[in-house]
A and B are shown apart, each in its own frame.
Chain A
């Protein structure tokens, strides 16, 4: 009976306050979407780190016609230079660092280039002799990149030593920034949500002050008086959280599963299943947010 009564009170409260409740739903929806987006960025960064740091390669580019490095003073790499570099890579000295070495010729480089830029008009104007041949070196420990760089960058016939980690770390930096920005926006929106919930509860308490006054006089317990207000805020926030979850899931489904995975097949992306892990956290966060802010408001505006 009391439950039915509380539910009907919540219903009438929400009906009476529909526009405010709607705005609470929307603000929590937006703020939790940003919270979730920040979470997804972090998940994605971890995923890529785990995936790429195992596969990271050091590429030793060999001299071509127009290389400007001093180690390329003699023009394109010669047979002897190439053999010397390969021998050095496979020597005892580097065995603790080097896992595997593979050679990529100019023709293979052109093949990869054509695959990668299949849709670009420049592909037809590039010829094999413009692309450097290279050694692809997988390391036992990706952190030991410096060793290879020092040993080979001044070797005759070597144009440049490049570590994919530099490139990856730049990406991670951008993604970290993106997640920080998302978190800042989430923080501001969450603050708005808290204020808005407090205002909504205050209005709701004001419009129902007759009821609560009578409840007090006839001896209704604190829970019966306050619960409808608290639940009103919590229900609105949870609806917002559900909308945020659906949005995040939908976005990841279309953006990651539908597009990014096909466009960048060699990159590890989080799946939309992993987004589902965020859902309970978002709903809980929304509920706690609304519960706390309405509880604090009620202590000031509804005497018991």
Chain B
């Protein structure tokens, strides 16, 4: 579903590359943790998949297509196939929960009838039944992240990218979010989640890809992650 073929990304000629000759395959329906300290290249990985940035060397394939060959007017179509969730939720503060999710469908031209039918279903999937008319500021952090996840998956993307989705949440709430992501993965969506929360990684027992200074230093099925402090102790 996502393939990195010897990808190097350099933002600045002088500094060291954000990604350094990374080769990686993520299959359809997989759940992958992308772990590593801040600055290890996790966010760059996500930006390259979305074609927000171009690889300096190597090729990025999404759903079998080399993103470098996608013309700029086709980039929106690429992004419709990918849902994204961030640490800071990025909800529209002046829209209700329902409108926030519906917004993602409106802007790609879905009909009102389809929106009215789909949005409540998706909100139920993320555990927000009955909160349609709440405003974001009335919700807890965990609930806001659920709205963001609902928005990310409402157009049924094949891939869900999550960039530190639990970074602003306490451990209990984080586990709730992980259950939602796991459920989405069970329904067939490929999930790539960047995190440095070792508790979550160790509880989920999924594939773990560890980045360090832009290189893949570990790739374990059902792996664990010991985090920065643990790695230093080893």
Contact = CB atoms under 8 A, between A and B. Distances in A.
Contacts of B104: 214, 218
Interface stretch (A54-62, A117-125, A219-227): A219-227
Contacts of A225: 107
Interface string A145-157: 0000000000000
Nearest to A221: B76
Interface in A178-226: 210-211, 213-222, 224-225
A55 to B, nearest CB: 63
B92 A218 contact: no
A1 B110 contact: yes
A218 B80 contact: yes
Interface in A1-36: 1-2, 5
B103 interface: yes
A213 B50 CA distance: 13
SS of A interface (majority)? helix
Contacts of B106: 1-2, 5
Interface residues on A, range: 10 to 19
Nearest to B161: A217
B48 interface: no
A219 B78 contact: yes
Nearest to A222: B73
Nearest to B73: A222
Contact of A219 (B79, B92, B103, B151): B79
B76 A220 contact: yes
A219 B155 contact: yes
B107 A224 contact: yes
A304 B79 CA distance: 11
A212 to B, nearest CB: 10
B108 A218 contact: yes
B155 A2 contact: no
Contact of A5 (B77, B84, B92, B107): B107
A224 B73 CA distance: 12
Contacts of A1: 106, 109-112
A216 B90 contact: no
Contact of A220 (B92, B108, B152): B108
B72 interface: yes
Interface in B58-91: 72-73, 75-81, 83-84, 90
18 contacts: A1-B109, A1-B111, A1-B112, A216-B79, A218-B103, A218-B104, A218-B151, A218-B155, A219-B76, A219-B108, A220-B76, A220-B107, A221-B73, A221-B76, A222-B73, A224-B109, A304-B72, A304-B75
Interface of B: 50, 72-73, 75-81, 83-84, 90, 92, 103-104, 106-112, 151-152, 155
Given A218-B80, A218-B103, 10 more contacts: A1-B110, A5-B106, A210-B92, A211-B92, A217-B79, A218-B152, A221-B76, A221-B108, A224-B109, A304-B75
Q: Which 9 A-B pairs have the closest CB atoms?
A: A219-B80, A220-B107, A219-B79, A2-B109, A218-B104, A219-B76, A5-B106, A215-B107, A221-B76
Interface of A: 1-2, 5, 210-211, 213-222, 224-225, 304
